[in-house]
Amino acid sequence: MEKQNEVVLFGTWASAFCKRVELALKIKGIPYEYVEEDLTNKSVSLLHYNPVHKKVPVLVHNGRPISESLVILEYIDECWNNTPKLLPEGPYQRAKVRFWVNFFDHQIMARLLPIIMTRGEEREKAIKEFNELLKVFEEGINKDFPEEFPFLEGKTLKYLDIVVGTALCNYEAFHEVVDVVFSHEKNPVIMAWVKALKNHPLMKETLPPHDKFVDKMREKYLGQYP
Amino acid sequence: MEKQNEVVLFGTWASAFCKRVELALKIKGIPYEYVEEDLTNKSVSLLHYNPVHKKVPVLVHNGRPISESLVILEYIDECWNNTPKLLPEGPYQRAKVRFWVNFFDHQIMARLLPIIMTRGEEREKAIKEFNELLKVFEEGINKDFPEEFPFLEGKTLKYLDIVVGTALCNYEAFHEVVDVVFSHEKNPVIMAWVKALKNHPLMKETLPPHDKFVDKMREKYLGQYP
């Protein structure tokens, strides 16, 4: 008998890229099996399903694998195209969301590692750059999606909420381990948004527990800088 | 009177990223105005329409700007959703195309500059890496889209054809100025594909003229290495 809508997600619990897929599946109400990968000892299945990048997340739907978190999110939205939709309906609004999601991934996410991995002046510079980019992002989304901000609790999570929330809702762990990188004073729209996102029941259910995440960051990054 | 479907493309003739938008508009049969930008002296309009990245291509549709070539291609396909479609219909096939287009941009395109800008051993290494990635790409698309290869002349150009064709159909200019970076022996599927793409009337109409492109590469890159 052929399996219908069998969904398996290969992920790792501390990765924001995996968390975005988990959250999208939950928002859509799609039942799935979750396989936690040990990235120091990748499973045969992961290497089989993502031979090109050998990375998580990988979504396997009825035996067919899809890799790369943003490609997976678009797939989920197209495949389970009942409400709630992750992307808006109009082509122009969709383009704007895609533009800002790419900006977030390629500019903002890409600056997090230098903040974590450097010290002293270098880190100051990285934090300054990060903040300038966050400012551009904040002003941009506020201008392009005036109807979305301030984000009201109880609203359905959409594409930008997923991408930004799974990355930034852990900011307290980040501040505890590394440094204060953003604040209400510097980034009021994003802080208000992230705080509201943190209280969303599906986000709460999806985010890694604070203490476990703090330990993971300490182990992973600070181990190198005793 | 409101303008209907006024389409303006800001681009620069030697950029593959701009050429992909031009080609997509032509495939769809969308009339447009083209504005050539001087990147050493960007126009006020460009800075106004793309204040975030200040880069071409920018598509302005009825006064509303969209930036980033892949975001623009998706927009064009969604907005003018008559045939021919650039992306396939099924969500899984769409995901596969997006995956390989991202691979092409982030892995393969990203390796072209190191080949151009380095010499000696460093270049040898860059070419080797480029070829290994091209091999992965070739095997991947051949496996994922068996119905598309070999590409037959006369077929309608689609998303992958646009992205790969506008980047690689100039390979003879590349070989003339820089080095032989790919060949029929090493990359038979891609070479056959690129050669067929080069003969497509819309591709011919869109690609920069060989001699002009050679001069541009010489001026831009080789000027730094007399």
CB contact B110 to A (< 8 Å)? no
Q: What are the domain boundaries of chain B?
A: 7-79, 91-224
B135 interface with A at CB cutoff 8 Å = no
ipTM of the complex: 0.94
Chain A residue closest in CA terms to B78: A91
pLDDT in tens, A146-196: 888 888 777 899 999 999 999 999 999 988 887 777 788 888 899 999 999
CA nearest B89 in A: which residue?
A: A78
Decide if A106 touches B, using CB distance below 8 A: no
Which position has the token pair 């623009």?
Answer: B72
> What per-residue confidence (pLDDT) applies to B83?
79
**Res. A3: pLDDT tops 60:** no
CA distance A217 to A115: 13
Tell me: the pLDDT tens digits for B191-210? Answer: 999 999 999 999 999 999 99
Rounded distance, CA B25 to CA B166, Å? 13
Looking at every residue in chain A, the average pLDDT score rounds to: 91
* Whether B95 and A52 lie within 8 Å, measured CB to CB: no
CATH fold match for the domains A7-79 and A91-224: no
| Interface size, chain A vs chain B, as Cβ–Cβ contacts under 8 Å | 58
Determine the distance in angstroms separating the CA of B205 from the nearest CA of chain A, rounded to an integer: 27
Q: From residue A41, give the alpha-carbon distance in Å to each of A37, A194, B47, B174.
A: 8, 33, 48, 41
Q: What is the pLDDT of residue B51?
A: 95
Divide the 226 residues of chain B into consecutive groups of 10 and give the mean pLDDT of each group: 79 97 97 96 97 97 98 98 92 97 95 82 88 94 89 87 96 84 85 94 97 88 58
* Top-level class of domain A7-79: alpha beta
- Residue that has been written with the tokens 């990147």 in this structure: B39
A78 touches chain B (CB under 8 A): yes
Of A68, A92, A103, the CB nearest to B99: A68
* Min Cα separation A65/chain B (Å): 9
Q: Inspect the interface and report whether the beta carbons of A71 and B136 lie closer than 8 Å.
A: no
Quick one: tokens of A213? 């995440």
- Tell me the C-alpha distance between B55 and B46, whole Å: 8
Question: At the topology level of CATH, where does B91-224 sit?
Answer: Glutathione S-transferase Yfyf (Class Pi); Chain A, domain 2 (1.20.1050)
Shortest CA distance to B112 belongs to which of B54, B63, B179, B39?
A: B179
Are B78 and A72 an interchain contact pair (Cβ–Cβ within 8 Å)? no
